[in-house]
A and B are shown apart, each in its own frame.
Chain A
Amino acid sequence: MTYMTQTLTEPRAGLAARLKLALAIFALLAVVPPLAHAMGEPFMIIIATRMMVFAIAALSLDLILGHGAMVSFGHAAYLGFGSYAVAILSRAGISDLVLQMVAAVLASALFALVTGAISLRTRGVYFIMITLAFGQMAYFFFVSFSALGGDDGVALAARSTVLGLPLLQGETGLFYVTLGLLIAAFAGLYLLTRSRFGRVLTGTRESALRMQAIGFRPLPYQLTAYVISAAICGVAGVLLANQAVYVSPAYMSWHRSGEMIVMLVLGGVGSLTGAMTGALVTVALEEGLARFSEHWRLGFGLILVLVALLSPGGLSGLLRKFNLLRDDK
């Protein structure tokens, strides 16, 4: 899958700068709730929570798409599995967040294991399309799931509890739990991509032939990454359901999957900081534009087209252009 290397080559020296940027973003996020309260704009907390939920999802996608060159067009399915894990378990009387997350992770991982094993037989455009097909399957499954509202989705009775505590009932509580998980996801993936495993994964992205010629079979590594990525995205789904107190198949439509790719490309593929930033900016942009006009999609679409035409490499490409992320040689 060499077709991606053009945007993927990540200059080494930019790494430290990216990590600093990520830490700065975390610090900035941490002060959002007090700031929002002080400004008398509590809805900012809700929007920031949404931004972070999608940032976790985008981070998970970057593991396979950015580091593994597996362009999945069905990743929103795992947002759905996570969300429905909350809906189904809470209806069965299990409202504990930890248990719901375990269920979401298991369901997502299992679906990814089966569909990933089949999808990874294909390459390039075919891989993109088969992951899309599996995403659609999951989507239609929940659309026809009339016990849970089918097409319309279903409202949750309440947010999940954490070990019996109503930690998520307030927006601030949910915000900090989400931030904590975002940092955990970032840190985990940061280590993962630099580990032996991550090295094999990125090596396969660069040249599968080279990796085979030194004795690796790419498939087990790619499939493992695919499963890990799905599991993390499932966690994001759990948070999404809690944030909206509502679950719907719309979370897993192909539009969402496309949007997740858009977040990554906007931020810069193959860089965790880029993926996270891309998601934060995308959601903020959507929410911001939606406040201006009901036709905000027109403006948002134009921005996407212009970024694609003018700035290969997304935001980090742009920053590099202006020398804000220096890459020494």
Chain B
Amino acid sequence: MFNLFLLQLLNGAQFGILLFLVAAGLTLVFGIMDFINLAHGVLYMVGGYVMAMMMGTTGNFWLSLTLVLPVMLVLGLALEVLVFRRLYDRSHLDQVLATFGLILVLSELVKILWGSAPLSVPMPEALSGSIALAGPMRYPVYRIAVIGVGLAVALALWFVIARTRVGMLLRAGAANRAMVSALGTDINRLFMLVFAAGAMLAGFAGAIVSPILSVDPGMGDSILILTFVVIVIGGVGSVKGAFFAALLVGIVDTLGRMFGPILLKALMDPAAAAQAGRTIAPMLVYILMAAVLFWRPTGLFGRSVAR
């Protein structure tokens, strides 16, 4: 039982790390630009497809993963220049309209280019084994590598935000948008950078997850909504909040699906418990989010609204 728990905890952490990679850029977009971007999940999906395509041509995992980054960066820049930039000053609703449209466009393009059937990406040889956990349980090296890479990215982001000039602007922007607006021309470059970096991180997440899950056109949708949950729980604009909230959501979701029915069985008869468990497990993270917002209407690390 303990081993199973440990295993699921690691799975939850790994899922959380992925959520963090997608959420990190988006929380800044929300917080600093006050921009509702529904199309961020699609970038995660596109990352997966670019990875699959690169693997198809090069056959080399590491080369493909490296190539995903500049491709996503360019895509992020292109979208910023063509669409997002023109919508910063507009209402949230116009932003919803445009980015909802972008979801449709990019999802459909992917279907046209690669079809609707899921694609799979082979795992690199070096990471395809597993290591022993306590007792007979083993855990895949690749998943541990995902956790490691995610932590490294988190550390790098922390360094950028805490120690550099760009980071100072980002922190100032999350705390007080008017202040950043007062900085003038710099702001357009900052926005572009945040968007492009966010797109790259989301695409990177889609790429590294491709050997574990398959790549399919719907993968962006499911992660987008969970990313929102992460951002809101963490507090809009807070990368630190996104990190902790992502782990929390990842672990709660994973453990809930596994142990929810088991715990319920102690309380009611097995058939009812199984049904109740199946019902409640997917709702758990949303209940968590509603609860957090009930007690802290601006999230765990969000700036409080002056009253």
> Per the CB under 8 Å rule, do A and B touch in the complex?
yes
A254 to chain B, nearest CB (A): 6
A266: nearest chain-B partner, CB-CB: B97
Which residues of the partner chain B approach A128 to less than 8 Å between Cβ atoms? 36, 92
Of A81-89, A102-110, A141-149, A184-192, the stretch lying at the interface with chain B is A141-149
Asked if residues B105 and A125 are in contact (CB atoms below 8 Å), the reply is no
Decide if the interface of chain B is mainly helix, strand, loop or mixed.
Answer: helix
B77 within 8 A of A: no
Q: Is A28 close to B, CB under 8 A?
A: no
Q: Is the CB of A305 within 8 A of B282?
A: no
Q: A298-B109, A308-B98 are in contact. Are A126 and B236 (CB under 8 A)?
A: yes
Query: Is there contact, CB below 8 Å, between A255 and B221?
Result: yes
Which of A126, A303, A312: most chain B CB closer than 10 A? A126
- A7 and B91 contacting across the interface, CB-CB below 8 Å: yes
B96 lies within 8 A of A133 (CB): no
Total cross-chain contacts (CB, 8 A): 154
Contact with B along A1-32 (1 / 0, CB 8 A): 00110110000000000000000000000000
User: Is A144 touching B282 in the complex (CB atoms < 8 A)?
Assistant: yes
Q: Are A300 and B104 in contact (CB under 8 A)?
A: yes
A118 and B112 form a contact (CB under 8 A):
no
- Contact in complex: B297, A125 (CB < 8 Å): no
The answer to whether B96 and A265 have CB atoms under 8 Å apart is: yes
Closest-CB distance, B68 to chain A (whole angstroms): 24
| Chain B residues within 8 Å of A126, by CB | 232, 236, 293, 297-299
Within 8 Å by CB of B305, from A123, A143, A146, A258, lies A123
B101 at the A interface (CB under 8 A): yes
CB < 8 Å neighbour of B287 from A3, A137, A143:
A137
Q: Chain B contacts of A144 at CB under 8 A?
A: 275, 278-279, 282
Q: Chain B residues near A291 (CB, 8 Å)?
A: none
CB of A298 within 8 A of CB of B297, answer no
Pairwise interchain contact A305-B283, C-beta atoms closer than 8 A: no
Are B225 and A305 neighbours in the complex by a CB distance under 8 Å? no
**Residue from the list B93, B286, B294, B297 in contact with A265, Cβ < 8 A:** B93
Say yes or no for A269: interface residue by CB 8 A criterion.
yes
Judged by a CB distance under 8 angstroms, whether A172 is at the interface is no
Chain B residues within an 8 Å CB radius of A255 = 221
Residues of B within 8 A of A118 (CB): 290, 293-294
A319 to B287, CA, bound (A): 43
A259 to chain B, nearest CB (A): 8
Chain A, range 264-287, C-beta contacts under 8 Å to B = 264-266, 269
**CA–CA, A261 and B299, complex, Å:** 25
Interface majority SS on A: helix, strand, loop or mixed?
helix
Query: Does A307 reach chain B (CB closer than 8 Å)?
Result: yes
Q: Does B94 contact A (CB under 8 A)?
A: yes
Of listed B97, B290, B294, residue having the most chain A CB within 10 A:
B97
- Contacting residues, chain B, for A309 (C-beta < 8 A): 83, 86-87, 98
Interface string of A246-270 (1 = CB under 8 A from B): 0000000011001101101110010
B100 at the interface (CB under 8 A from A): yes
Shortest C-beta distance, A149 to chain B (Å), equals 14
Bound together, the chains give a CA A124 to CA B34 distance in angstroms of 10
Chain A residues proximal to chain B, CB less than 8 Å = 3-4, 6-7, 65, 71, 115, 118, 121-126, 128-130, 132-134, 136-137, 140-141, 143-146, 254-255, 258-259, 261-262, 264-266, 269, 295, 297-298, 300-305, 307-309, 312
Interface residues in chain B, defined as those with a beta carbon under 8 Å from any beta carbon in chain A: 30, 34, 36, 38, 83, 86-87, 90-98, 100-109, 111-112, 221, 225, 228-229, 231-232, 236, 275, 278-279, 282-283, 286-287, 289-290, 293-294, 297-299, 305
Known: A3-B34, A300-B104. 5 other contacts (CB 8 A): A115-B290, A126-B298, A133-B289, A297-B107, A300-B101
Query: Could you jot down 22 A-B contacts, CB within 8 Å?
Result: A118-B294, A121-B294, A125-B34, A125-B232, A126-B232, A129-B228, A129-B229, A132-B225, A133-B289, A133-B290, A136-B286, A258-B100, A265-B96, A269-B93, A295-B111, A297-B104, A297-B107, A298-B108, A302-B101, A304-B97, A304-B100, A308-B94
Which 4 residue pairs of A and B lie closest in terms of their CB atoms, listed nearest first?
A304-B101, A301-B104, A308-B98, A301-B105
